Amino acid sequence: MSRATYLQKIIYRVTYFIFILTTVAGWFNISADNVLMKFDKLNVEQEITGWGTSAAWWSQIAGDSENAEELARLLYSEEGLGLNIYRYNVGAGEKDQEHSVILDYAPHNYDWRASESFLVYNEETGEYEYDWTQDAAAQKMLDLCLNYGCIDTVVLFANSPHYSMTESGSATGSFTANTCNLKEGYADDFAEYMCDIAEYFISKGVPVKYISPINEPQWSWGGGWVNQEGCHYELDDIIEVGEAFAAEIKERNLDVKLSLAESGCVSDDTMNYIDAIYENEAIMEVLGTYAYHSYWTDDIAYKYAFGKYMDKHYGDIELEMSEWCELPNEHLIDDIDAGILMAREISEDVMLTGVNSWTTWVAVNDGLEYADSMIGANGDCSEFVIGKRYYAMAHFTKFVPVGSRAVGFDISVADIKAEEAWWDDVVDGKEYDHYIIENNLNVSTFRTPEGKYVAVIVNNGAEKKFTYTMPGYTMAVYTTDATRNLELTAEKWAVGSVVVPEKSIVTVEFTPVLG
């Protein structure tokens, strides 16, 4: 990467000053009881292609439980969240090994993270062969969710290549941290393996739309970190794997696209990956989405800068936020703060980064009181509770269908606070500071295909009053706070005010009145 390119990225990062000065009318720690807001109907942004969740690793447990059908309904039916994106974890086989690093050494309950693979070792032939009865519970969960008819996109993603294709013989990473664990010369084998699995699911009628072979490549994935399947990739490794998959997809004439590179967070790596991918013609022929994760990035300025960078240089690429959960998790499953944090992340990714789709990492996880998921369950999913994160997701999925577009808005005041982060960058001897910006009042706005307008308000501060003027529309107000879950709290003509309680998520749906 050239010095000029790197400096340009630095410029995008430090635009937090410009962002604050030009997008809000207030300054740090400003708060207001009354907020005047209006839609900028001419400022139409990206199309929303969907909402989803990953099926790792809960589906392989839940699929065998008595609650499998109910969990499928809650997530993938119109009565539930109505999610349309399903991320199927193509397991790398740690559960199939006689001595699995995860099962033998990982902490209690981390056995959820060991996955079966369709590629198993046949002791009689001494060869690895496909067994499509493997991962039966996860396959059952997928089928149950598909039955509700909301899913139009299945993503086959791999946290690691199959353990037989790794240098360490384990899908948990290399013996040495920050070292690629894919055996030298095995990129083609990895591509053939994933495409074989894609063809299997497609033959069953599963709407496989993307293959995502790389997950969080910048993390160390090895050495002492062995709690789950994972693989480190340097930039050259990403391109090598991407080229192998592009060639295999084209050779088979598969009706699927490639999704890359699932950066673990919004960072310089995220921009470096897209720069290299975009310059590679072979990969670009089959690239469907450029995907990143939002872990540890609750920073509105940084996301704004990244979004501007993507829009300027790669506006023709579909952008996907494919994983997020709270790390580290600091909230109980029914804590409204957990829901507020998730809703704020969704809003920031849509309105600032400009993503087309947003997918949470954890649908269900182990823990009836303390879990990082939308739904908490016990070890075998025979019991479960619906958490505040579930309703946070519902504030978007139930009102912003596929085909909606993000739209601009004007607002009179914002409640924000910036603190200098503990890290910085040094370029040519000059330090560039990073800032974490806490946003206590967050708004995202949409226009649906039916002509409705939707505002999702995330309020982490005191009670506020939002005033709208939308003649010719009625409005319905839905509220989630400490005591309510997506409760209809008002229905009236869309001229007047909406009370947004302290620490709450409020969706206001404006419906045009037919003449």
State the CATH number of the domain containing residue 461. Answer: 2.60.40.1180
Q: What is the 3-state secondary structure (H, E, C) of 220-244?
A: CCECCCCCCCCCECCHHHHHHHHHH
65, 112, 367, 379: CA torsion to nearest 10: 40
> Which residue in 267, 259, 244 sits closest to 290, CA to CA?
259
User: Under a CB-based contact definition with an 8 Å cutoff, are residues 230 and 215 in contact?
Assistant: yes
Of 403, 422, 450, the position where a domain reaches its end is 403
Cα torsion 45, 268, 263, 375: sign: negative
Amino acid letter, residue 180 = C
Q: 86 is in which domain, residue-wise?
A: 50-403
Sheet holding 375-377, edge to edge: 364-366, 375-377, 384-386
Distance CA 130, CA 157 (A): 18
Residue 484: Cβ-neighbour burial (10 angstroms; 0-12, 13-18, 19+): middle
Q: How many other CB atoms sit within 10 Å of the CB of residue 483?
A: 9
Same domain, 103 and 163: yes
Same domain, 35 and 55: no
Residue 156: Cβ-neighbour burial (10 angstroms; 0-12, 13-18, 19+): buried
Give residue for tokens 């519970």: 137
Same domain, 141 and 285: yes
Same domain, 37 and 60: no
Enclosing H/E stretch for 155: strand 153-157
Same domain, 178 and 36: no
Same domain, 359 and 449: no
Helices (H), 150-299: 187-203, 235-252, 268-278, 281-284
- Helices and strands in the chain: count of H runs, count of E runs: 13, 22
CA angle, residues 146, 283, 209, in degrees to nearest 5: 10
Same domain, 268 and 173: yes
Tokens of 65: 């439980």
Enclosing H/E stretch for 260: strand 257-263
Distance CA 480, CA 394 (A): 10
Distances (CA, A) of 341 to 47, 209, 401, 453, 459: 24, 30, 22, 23, 10
Q: What is the pLDDT of residue 495?
A: 82
Strand partners, 508: 455, 477
Of 403, 432, 458, the position where a domain reaches its end is 403
User: Under a CB-based contact definition with an 8 Å cutoff, are residues 141 and 72 in contact?
Assistant: yes
Domain CATH number, residue 110: 3.20.20.80
Same domain, 250 and 378: yes
Amino acid letter, residue 21 = L
441, 446, 452, 456: CA torsion to nearest 10: -20
Of 403, 426, 456, the position where a domain reaches its end is 403
Residue 20: Cβ-neighbour burial (10 angstroms; 0-12, 13-18, 19+): buried
Give residue for tokens 């649908």: 363
513: Cβ contacts below 8 Å, ≥ 6 apart: 472, 473, 474
Task: Name all contacts of 25-29 with Cβ < 8 Å and 24+ positions apart.
Answer: 25/411, 25/412, 25/413, 25/414, 26/413, 26/414, 26/415, 26/416, 28/416, 28/417, 28/418, 29/415, 29/416, 29/417
Give the number of domains in the chain: 2
Beta pairing class for 127-130 and 153-157: unpaired
Same domain, 379 and 429: no
509: Cβ contacts below 8 Å, ≥ 6 apart: 399, 452, 453, 454, 475, 476, 477, 478
Enclosing H/E stretch for 262: strand 257-263
> Which residue in 440, 465, 460 sits closest to 504, CA to CA?
460
Same domain, 294 and 397: yes
User: Under a CB-based contact definition with an 8 Å cutoff, are residues 406 and 445 in contact?
Assistant: yes
Same domain, 380 and 418: no
Mean pLDDT (10-residue bins), the chain, 515 residues:
46 44 34 76 94 96 97 98 98 82 60 89 94 98 98 98 95 92 97 98 98 96 80 97 98 98 92 96 98 83 86 95 93 96 94 96 94 95 97 98 94 62 60 66 94 95 90 95 97 88 97 81
Same domain, 369 and 461: no
